[in-house]
Amino acid sequence: MDIPRLHPDTIEQVKQRVDIVDVISDHVVLRKRGKDFTGLCPFHDDKSPSFSVSPTKQFYYCFSCGVGGNAITFLMETGKRSFADVVLDLAKRYQVPIQTLEPAQRQELQRQISLREQLYDVLALTARFYEHALQQSQGEAALPYLRDKRQLSQETIQQFQLGYAPAGWQTLYGYLIEQKRYPVELVEKAGLIVPRQEGRGHYDRFRDRLMIPIHDLQGRVIGFGGRSLGDEQPKYLNSPETELFDKGKTLFALDKARTAIAKHDRVIIVEGYFDVIALHAAGITNVVASLGTALSVTQIRQLLRYTESKQIVLNFDADAAGTKAAERAIGEIADLAYQGEVQLRILTIPQGKDPDEFLKTHSAADYQALLDNAPLWLDWQIQQILADSDLHQADQFQQGTQEIVKLLGNLPNATLRTHYIHYCAEILSQGNARLAVQLESDLRTQVRGQRWHGRSQKWQRPGDRTLLEESEAQLLRLYLHLSEYRTLIMQSLEERDLDFSFAHHRFLWQQILELKDADNQAPSPSPQPADLLSQLRDRCTEFPDKQAQIYPLFQLDEKAKRDILRAPLVIRAAIAGMERVMCDKRRRHFLDLWKQTDCANAPELCQYYQQQIYAENQRIADLDQQQRQVTLDDLAQIPWVGEFKDALERSQS
């Protein structure tokens, strides 16, 4: 909903009660220096700490870029949020009573705040209920499991508020609703009970499970993870998404780990709850875990607030599932790692053990030694590529080489590419110095070819530019004017790994993506087409040099109106057109490299180029066939050409 006008008294109380160090330390790693704190400025690419925060003045200032302000302006700038939005959040955080200038709006606002506070209350009470049940006779299976199998002390059990959910279908239901008189709707919104399918009554979501509370950064319970004690599936069951709990944006134990992360300037990410608990119990407390989902860029950026050197270590299980999880996580954050925004390392414990298992037979110092020697993610990736390869076999040698070329081709830093090309040539040569020199030269040429992504104008034919510009314009125009096809367009571009080639098209697409990201983070629904166009027009006024090229896409001429009537076909044709131009340019590029290569001295390199040329030819043939089908489908939409389509299909068969 729209944020109402806040009363001046509320604003003043927030300013008086807010702690600027507390607020900014959520976003910047701060170090004490005399009376003040210093850190890297979040508003520019700061290489050395030039950002100063004064708790006495409640003011921040960057001596490098000159930005400054109070806690409110900091949150407005970092989050691109409105004044009222920031003040409202700070009021909730510091428990300032909220007054608005419109009584009706104040009532609705208080209702929403009241709901969240009630959810916090019921979840906190539930955590205490589970803790109490663990110590009773009904928890007789759970407590020995923690003490004996997991080897956890009573202190650790209490620190993580571990508990037990009784086996009955309505044990928690009876306690919260019948005894404590909480409304059924509230307990359901907290994710603690589930309505029966027949529509009569509810039952407890967690039954006969060891319970692990999940906390937010302020240490408040927002959800639970429940581990089955028998054969019940799933083995781990998490709370559903609620008003308070978003597992894709939450990291287990970050509330307990963030101080240690800043102190050690490094964060360790593990897979499971008990891996975190075991490491914390061993004194290694800069550890968090994701919550059963693939690690996201949002979670990584959240962690980067606390480590100045951006060091992140992934310690996933060494089995096949753990390796896949690590590769998925790398895929999510590879762009950040390539750009140097993350110093990513991968720790694999010997003999396929997870941290919890390892610490049962080894000391914390042994784990720390493994941690200190964890390889960089690129080294780990190369190890994985060559792990089961017999480099004496030509086919395995070639496959491994091609995967390495693809990996190194994404490195934007020339110096780093040179280092890894030399490193990989040494591995592939297996000690043969003469072969290593030749391999290094071949790898360098292949990586150079891999890094060519099709934007170069050198390999472009005169007709390509017209086809490409028209295809890109059609997609953008349909995206702007037809909201129901936006997901299809977005997915089609991602699936084909296509980007916009023309600068003004790339600029407009970037503005669209930024608005989409902002919309995903906002509580309101996605904007309607008119709203999107209005927002884009406002944004583009700041870039007068782009306006003349972009504004025609905001209008609908007669051809554009016809395109809208046959949008699915136009999207298919435009995507195929963009991809065909890219494929044709890549084919000519590899053909030129092949012609320049001495195949007698570099047969494997020649074979690699031939394979690339063949693959591009095959894809172009597929796209041409798709384009012919689009034409047939297009004609079929005109009533009088139905017979013509049938005849044309018969003639091609």
- Report in angstroms the alpha-carbon separations of 474 from 124, 149, 220: 53, 62, 49
Q: What is the mean pLDDT of residues 206-226?
A: 94
Q: Using CA atoms, how far apart are residues 561 and 573, in angstroms rounded to an integer?
A: 16
Determine, yes or no, domain membership for 652.
no
Place of tokens 């083995």: 235
Counted domains in the chain: 5
CATH number for the domain harbouring residue 274: 3.40.1360.10
CB-CB contact of 145 with 277 (8 Å): no
Average pLDDT over residues 631-638: 51
The DSSP H or E segment spanning 541 is none
Tell me which of 288 and 248 has the higher pLDDT.
288
The pTM score is 0.61
98, part of any domain: no
The whole-angstrom separation of Cα 300 and Cα 279 is 20
Q: Please give the structure tokens belonging to residue 254.
A: 């970050």
Is residue 458 very low, low, confident or very high in pLDDT (cuts 50, 70, 90)? very low
Pair (269, 346) in one structural domain:
yes
Min mean pLDDT across 175-189, 198-212, 313-327 is at 313-327
Of 167, 164, 188, the residue nearest 176 (C-alpha): 188
> What percent of the chain is predicted at pLDDT more than 90?
29
> Among 371, 214, 373, 365, which Cα is nearest to 282's?
365
Residues 121 and 45 in one domain: no
Residues 630 and 509 in one domain: yes
Secondary element (H or E) of residue 211 = strand 209-215
Specify whether 429 is located in the same domain as 506. Answer: no
> If you search the block for the tokens 């975190």, which residue do you land on?
276
Indicate whether 389 and 359 sit together in one domain: no
Total Cβ atoms within 10 A of residue 45: 8
Residue that is last in its domain, among 181, 211, 241 = 211
Residue 82 pLDDT greater than 60, yes or no: yes
The residue written with tokens 């030749």 in the block is 438
Provide the pLDDT for residue 129. Answer: 97
> Among 285-299, 432-446, 630-644, whose mean pLDDT is lowest?
630-644
Whether the per-residue pLDDT at 638 is higher than 60: the answer is: no
Helices (H), 225-272: 254-264
Token look-up 């978003």 returns 246
Confidence band (pLDDT; 50, 70, 90) for 522?
low
Do residue 548 and residue 622 come from a single domain?
yes
1 in a structural domain: no
Cis bond upstream, residue 234 (ω within 30): yes
User: Model confidence at 456, in pLDDT bands (50, 70, 90)?
Assistant: very low
Q: Which of 450, 479, 496 is the last residue of a domain?
A: 450
pLDDT at 568: 86
Q: Which of 87-96, 101-110, 345-354, 368-377 has the highest mean pLDDT?
A: 368-377
Q: Which helix (H) or strand (E) holds 240?
A: none
Q: Is position 57 within any domain?
A: yes
Token pair, residue 384, equals 């994985």
Tokens 């955080």 belong to residue: 93
From the list 323, 320, 382, the residue with the least C-alpha distance to 347 is 323
> Does residue 171 belong to any structural domain of this protein?
yes
Whether 648 is in a domain gets the answer no
pLDDT at residue 526 above 50? no
Label residue 88 left, alpha or beta by phi (over 0 means left) and psi (-120 to 50 means alpha): alpha
Q: 312 - beta bridge partners?
A: 267, 344
Of 622, 619, 621, nearest to 583 by C-alpha is: 619
Q: Does 621 share its domain with 477?
A: yes
Angle formed at CA 289 by CA 283 and CA 293, multiple of 5 degrees: 170
Name the token pair of 301. 């950026």
Match 């059924």 to its residue by tokens: 184
Q: What is the pLDDT of residues 349-393, one digit of tens each?
A: 987 789 999 999 999 999 999 999 999 999 999 998 998 888 888
pLDDT at 126 over 90: yes
Q: Assess contact for 249 and 239: CB atoms under 8 A.
A: no
Query: Looking at the structure, do residues 396 and 304 belong to the same domain, yes or no?
Result: no
496 and 538 co-located in one domain: yes
Specify whether 406 is located in the same domain as 492. no
- Evaluate whether residue 84 is within a structural domain: yes
What pLDDT, on a 0 to 100 scale, did the predictor assign at position 509?
87
Of 22, 201, 5, the closest CA to residue 98 belongs to: 5
Q: pLDDT tens-digit profile of 397-414? A: 988 998 998 888 878 777
Q: What is the DSSP annotation of 365-409?
A: HHHHHHHHTPPBHHHHHHHHHHTT--TTSHHHHHHHHHHHHHHHT
- Identify the helix (H) or strand (E) that includes residue 125: helix 103-134
Given a cut of 60, whether residue 396 has pLDDT beyond it is yes
Range of the domain at 58: 8-93
Spatial strand order of the sheet with 36-39 comes to 31-33, 36-39, 51-54, 59-62, 68-69
Please indicate, yes or no, if residue 27 is contained in any of the structural domains. Answer: yes
Distance CA(374)–CA(224), nearest Å, equals: 31
Choosing from 55, 71, 93, the residue where a domain stops is: 93
Kindly state whether residues 446 and 402 are assigned to the same domain. Answer: yes
Same domain, 86 and 114: no
